């Protein structure tokens, strides 16, 4: 690839939250960005933010846990935007419950979106990365990977993503592809707002309570995570691979 050619980034779960902030940030870094989410229409706001700033973006409806939809999405992105060589596996869902109340379907849903989704997307995109002899994969893990009450499914999936990341780094390194994980702590998004609602707290009170437990004394923003992802996806990060970066306002236990 010539240095003037635009790299194409794929960000999943990019209709809102961390994914949307990441898509906008990567576009600001000069990437063309495929904005993937379950509902193509829901991607419109993110795409408009990017195009309004002079960038290139494409809205793509795709369930990342569906093998055929993932392949179709990557084929469409390659045809309409260009061969993707940056992938951010960000799509995620919560189905929190204590073990004795957790259904097998809540376990499967979380595994399928986070782990199977990241596997399917990585497998579909790797061909383009290998052909280009360049690639950047970032998987969204979580502080919950270290264990979190009420999240056996999510904690296992987020720890699993760290193993997936390290293995991708080992398998694909010789093709110029790096893989890293960003593991956020508490970030103010619809996901944490839904958790506040589930536990019967107002979101402001929920964030204030969380902030008291964080060394920098505030909760994170989607941009805090987008900044870390921008580093890992940059050309300058080519010797950083297989790492997990906790972005949580302080060290975790």
Catalytic residues: 154
The three-point CA angle 64-22-74 to 5° equals: 35
Please select the residue that binds ligand NAD; options are 9, 63, 84, 122, rule is CB under 6 A. 63
Residue closest to 69 by CA, chosen among 48, 45, 86, 91: 91
Helices vs strands, H then E, count in the chain: 9, 7
Does 120 bind ligand NAD (CB under 6 A)? Our answer is no
For residue 61, the cross-strand partners are 37
Smaller CB separation from ligand NAD, 89 or 134: 89
Please select the residue that binds ligand NAD; options are 189, 230, 232, 245, rule is CB under 6 A. 189
Alpha-carbon gap, residue 26 to 4, rounded angstroms? 16
Closest distance of CB 116 from ligand NAD, Å: 9
Smaller CB separation from ligand NAD, 132 or 156: 156
Please select the residue that binds ligand NAD; options are 64, 81, 83, 137, rule is CB under 6 A. 64
- Footprint on residues 2-41 left by ligand NAD (CB under 6 A): 12-13, 15-19, 37-38
Smaller CB separation from ligand NAD, 134 or 154: 154
Which helix or strand (DSSP H or E) is residue 34 part of?
strand 32-37
Alpha-carbon gap, residue 179 to 232, rounded angstroms? 8
Please select the residue that binds ligand NAD; options are 82, 84, 184, 249, rule is CB under 6 A. 184
Alpha-carbon gap, residue 252 to 231, rounded angstroms? 21
Closest distance of CB 19 from ligand NAD, Å: 6
Q: Is the dihedral of CA 38, 181, 123, 6 positive or negative?
A: positive
Smaller CB separation from ligand NAD, 78 or 91: 91
Check if the beta carbon of residue 243 is closer than 8 Å to that of residue 179.
Answer: no
**Mask of contacts with ligand NAD, 139-178, x by CB under 6 A?**
-x-x------------------------------------
Q: How do the residues of the chain divide into helix, strand and coil, expressed in percent and rounded to 5?
A: 55, 15, 30
Closest distance of CB 35 from ligand NAD, Å: 10
Among 47-55, 74-82, 85-93, 124-132, the segment contacting ligand NAD (CB under 6 A): 85-93
Alpha-carbon gap, residue 231 to 213, rounded angstroms? 27
Axis crossing angle, helix 44-52 with helix 17-28, rounded to the nearest 10: 20
Smaller CB separation from ligand NAD, 27 or 187: 187
**Mask of contacts with ligand NAD, 207-226, x by CB under 6 A?**
--------------------
The binding site for ligand NAD (CB under 6 A) comprises 12-13, 15-19, 37-38, 63-65, 90-93, 113, 117, 140, 142, 184, 186-187, 189-192
């Amino acid at each position: 690839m010539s240095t003037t050619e635009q790299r194409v980034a794929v960000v999943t779960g990019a209709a809102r939250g961390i994914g949307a902030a990441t898509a906008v940030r990567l576009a600001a870094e000069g990437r063309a960005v495929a904005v993937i989410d379950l509902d193509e229409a829901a991607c419109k706001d993110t795409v408009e933010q990017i195009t309004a700033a002079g960038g290139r973006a494409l809205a793509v409806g795709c369930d990342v846990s569906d093998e055929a939809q993932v392949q179709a999405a990557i084929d469409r992105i390659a045809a309409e935007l260009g061969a993707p060589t940056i992938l951010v596996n960000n799509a995620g869902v919560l189905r929190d419950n204590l073990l004795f109340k957790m259904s097998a379907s809540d376990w499967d849903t979380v595994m399928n979106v986070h782990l199977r989704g990241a596997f399917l997307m990585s497998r579909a995109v790797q061909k383009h990365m290998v052909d280009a002899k360049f690639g950047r994969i970032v998987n969204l893990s979580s502080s919950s990977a270290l264990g979190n009450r009420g999240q056996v499914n999510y904690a296992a999936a987020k720890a699993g993503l760290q193993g997936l990341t390290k293995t991708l780094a080992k398998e694909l390194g010789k093709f110029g592809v790096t893989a890293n994980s960003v593991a956020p702590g508490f970030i103010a998004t619809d996901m944490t707002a839904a958790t506040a609602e589930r536990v019967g707290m107002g979101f402001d009170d929920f964030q204030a309570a969380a902030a008291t437990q964080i060394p920098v004394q505030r909760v994170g923003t989607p941009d805090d995570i987008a900044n870390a992802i921008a580093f890992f996806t940059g050309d300058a990060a080519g010797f950083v691979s297989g790492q997990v970066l906790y972005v949580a306002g302080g060290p975790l236990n």
